Structure 1
Amino acid sequence: MFIRTFEQTDYPVVKAIYQQGIDTGNATFQMTAKSWDEWNNSMLIHSRIVAVEDDHILGWAALSPISNREVYSGVAEVSIYVEASSQGKGVGQKLLSKLILESENNNIWMLQAAIFPENIGSLTLHQNNGFRQIGVREKLGKMNNVWRDVVLIERRSKVIGVSGN
């Protein structure tokens, strides 16, 4: 398995993996995968990666800006999805490790995510990569007529945005 830069031609597979995550009911409030234009416009142009094995995409990761304001240009939200049959095999770990490096190479000093508390695998993955819980947003939104909480987590770079940088 190796990690490479995302290419637009990867999007049909990326979209299918995204939809698998959506279908679990514990990955996102999104109900259907975004179109190419919606996805492309919502993600930063850099730090888009895929995990590949034998020419098969196993998962993807990308960053989205949290705001268009210049002061927040070093802060991004993490999206990471691994196809169901590849979960538990280290794909998420490889993707997140590479995403952190890519983010720092692009002057991102803080990564954040909002994860459903039921998504233990994602919470563990992020915590194992230096993310810390900063709070819980209770009843943030309704999904299938049920109020859902999200756990807010963040990771601050030790090399970007520190004193002297």
Structure 2
Amino acid sequence: MESTATIREAASEDIANILRIYNQGIEDRIATLETDTKDMAYMEAWFREHQGRYNVLVAEKDNTVVGWAALNPYSHRCAYNGVADLSIYIERESRGQGVGSSLLQALEHTAKASAFYKIVLFTFPFNQMGQGLYRKMGYREVGVFEKQGVIDNQPIDVMIMEKML
């Protein structure tokens, strides 16, 4: 199914929806090693750090934010200035409807315009929907960190993927 979402740069008015969607990702245990849901103070501070090159895009359907994607610093070392880390979260009801593809395509365009030459991401090997999106968009598997984190007292592997822009 193709997305009919509108992609735009996030504004401060979107923080509550970004938080809502992020907390869904935390609760679902398929997208992040975070296990504690976040509050508005956390998300407002996060949003302030995501301006300029490391900005945030949102996907809107029927005037409702249904997903978001952000570029994050991969490393603070200057040698990695052209490499960005990716975050992408889609609300439960909109997953599998093309929103992720639309967001990721727009974010890659933004990344190129901000002088990034590569995007890296970290995903769980069992997150088949996420990996399907990344592979469809041209990301390749680099490797797996075994037992990189712990969720609900269970060790979790983390897969690294990348795309040259």
Answer yes or no: is the 8 Å Cα contact 2:10–2:57 preserved in 1: yes
What residue is the counterpart of 1:123 in the other structure?
A: 131
CA distance in 2, matches of 1:149, 1:134: 13
Q: CA deviation at 1:41?
A: 5.2
CA distance in 2, matches of 1:9, 1:67: 29
Residue among 57, 65, 88 paired with 1:80: 88
May I ask how many residue pairs the two structures share in their alignment? Answer: 157
Moved >3 Å (runs of 4+): 41-47
Q: CA deviation at 1:43?
A: 3.5
1:57-85, Cα deviation, whole Å (9 max, x unpaired)? 01000011011111111111110001001
Residue among 37, 40, 47 paired with 1:40: 47
TM-score by length of 2: 0.90
Gaps (5+ residues) in structure 1?
158-165
SS in 1 for 2:148: strand
Answer yes or no: is the 8 Å Cα contact 1:130–1:155 preserved in 2: yes
CA distance in 1, matches of 2:90, 2:30: 13
CA distance in 2, matches of 1:119, 1:142: 16
CA distance in 1, matches of 2:43, 2:29: 22
Give the AA of the match of 1:52: E
Identity of aligned residues (%): 34
Q: CA deviation at 1:37?
A: 3.9
Q: CA RMSD in A?
A: 1.4
1:92-148, Cα deviation, whole Å (9 max, x unpaired)? 010001011110010011101110111111111011111100000000011111100
Asked if residue 71 in structure 1 is aligned to residue 64 in structure 2, the reply is no
TM-score by length of 1: 0.90
**Mapping for residues 135-154 of structure 1, pairs under 5 Å:** 135-154=143-162
Give the AA of the match of 1:30: E
Gaps (5+ residues) in structure 2?
none
What residue is the counterpart of 2:113 in the other structure?
A: 105
Inter-CA distance 19–38: structure 2 relative to 1 (3 Å threshold):
same
What residue is the counterpart of 2:18 in the other structure?
A: 14
